[in-house]
Amino acid sequence: MKILVTGGVGYIGSHTVVELQQNGHEVVIVDNLSNSNIGVLDAIAKITGIKPEFENFDLADKTKTEDFFKCHSDIQGIIHFAAFKAVGESVNEPLMYYRNNLFSLVNILQSMKDNGVENLVFSSSCTVYGQPEKLPVSENAPVQKAESPYGNTKQISEEIIFDTVKASDIKGIAVRYFNPIGAHETAIIGELPLGVPNCLMPYITQTAIGIREQLSVFGDDYKTPDGTAIRDYIHVADLAKAHVIAVERMVKQKMKKDFEYFNLGTGNGYSVLEVIKSFEKVSGEKLNYKIVGRRAGDIEKVWADTNFANDELGWKAQQNIDEMTLSAWKWEQKLALNNK
């Protein structure tokens, strides 16, 4: 199958490209490199032996998107990752987020319609559930008002796809990620945060390697066993595999509805302190951290009900928290070696 991966040079995108190629699919990547590094293309080729076809342009540009689809009308499925994703930045620059994340989706859907491309896997987030009343959270839980423009773009995007599916031959799968961490087992690709990381795992590994002085743990007064917030961390390679299954499910016409939603998590929640403990255990490093106040907009706890994804996709996340933190550490060590 020929699959378009937008944002395929980025963190989750690059791991998904590897899995697609290793499952025999032909990949074409569109990425404007706004938050990614062109060197990742060679890194992908180093793992799989195949350098994916690549085009550098902004999918929010309607004409360029149309021109691209005219030349690639044989695409059978699209996995759409390309989007801005920094929660804090989206609060300061909402229009930048709405323009980038929504215009690109509308352009892709329009081109799909015009060119008879029917299958779209959309990269969504558990952020749509806010702080769920019931845990684990299932796909049937209500979507709650978004805390940030970033979160809102995910909700609006799902609605745009829903409405388009109703009015056309297009089919959609929204995959709602929990917290992806870790890196490819080869340590050839991984997360490459630009500047100071917002997310926990790269902040931990950058502190341990000496790039950051100290990790701040945001809040220890949550109603959780150790007082720190709980998330469902999932290995990025497990997440990548789920995308391959989702796009194959669409192309092979195994969908039960024309628009489906899946939670992609492990079903296990770990607190910030538990993630730190796992990291210290697998790395043998003592992490310099201190407890500070809560971070605005953070929820207390969330983890996935994975039954639907497990049953319907025949997929289950395999890697445990120690495997995740170890792979993130190996990746950080590899980056440090490369930068010497």
Taking CB under 6 A as the binding criterion, the range among 156-164, 167-175, 216-224, 318-326 that sits at the site for ligand UFG is 216-224
What does the alpha-carbon distance between residue 237 and residue 204 come to, in Å, rounded to a whole number? Answer: 20
Identified binder of ligand UFG from the candidate list 36, 101, 127, 306, rule CB under 6 A: 127
Give the CA distances from residue 145 to residues 132, 164, 278, 279, 334, in Å, rounded to whole numbers and listed in that order. Answer: 11, 22, 33, 34, 40
Site for ligand UFG in 156-185 (CB under 6 A): 179
Identified binder of ligand UFG from the candidate list 173, 229, 240, 245, rule CB under 6 A: 229
Going by C-beta distance under 8 Å and a sequence separation of 6 or more, which residues neighbour residue 256?
312
Identified binder of ligand UFG from the candidate list 125, 268, 283, 319, rule CB under 6 A: 125
Q: What are 229's two structure tokens?
A: 């917030």
Identified binder of ligand UFG from the candidate list 72, 295, 316, 334, rule CB under 6 A: 295
Active site residue 270: no
By three-state DSSP, how is residue 215 classified? strand
Identified binder of ligand UFG from the candidate list 80, 171, 176, 231, rule CB under 6 A: 231
Is the Cβ of residue 16 or residue 21 nearer to ligand UFG in the bound state? 16
Q: Which amino acid is at 275?
A: V
Listed as own residue / partner, the contacts of 64-67 with beta carbons closer than 8 Å and 24 or more positions apart are 65/104, 65/107, 65/108, 65/110, 65/111, 66/107, 66/110, 66/111, 66/114
Q: Give the strand pairing for 270-271 and 230-231.
A: antiparallel
Is the Cβ of residue 136 or residue 151 nearer to ligand UFG in the bound state? 151
What does the alpha-carbon distance between residue 40 and residue 190 come to, in Å, rounded to a whole number? Answer: 9
The verdict on 287 binding ligand UFG (CB under 6 A) reads: no
Going by C-beta distance under 8 Å and a sequence separation of 6 or more, which residues neighbour residue 113?
164, 168, 170
Phi, psi at 303, each rounded to 5°: -150, 160
Taking CB under 6 A as the binding criterion, the range among 39-47, 107-115, 162-170, 198-206 that sits at the site for ligand UFG is 198-206
The verdict on 220 binding ligand UFG (CB under 6 A) reads: no
* Set 150, 222, 233, 261: catalytic member: 150
Identified binder of ligand UFG from the candidate list 25, 80, 85, 184, rule CB under 6 A: 85
Please state, as a whole number, how many other Cβ atoms lie within 10 Å of the Cβ of residue 93: 16
- CB of 126: closest distance to ligand UFG in angstroms? 7
- CB of 282: closest distance to ligand UFG in angstroms? 18
Identified binder of ligand UFG from the candidate list 215, 234, 321, 335, rule CB under 6 A: 215
Chain residues that interact with ligand UFG, rule: CB under 6 A:
85, 87, 125, 127, 150-151, 179, 198-200, 203, 215-218, 229, 231, 272, 295, 298-299
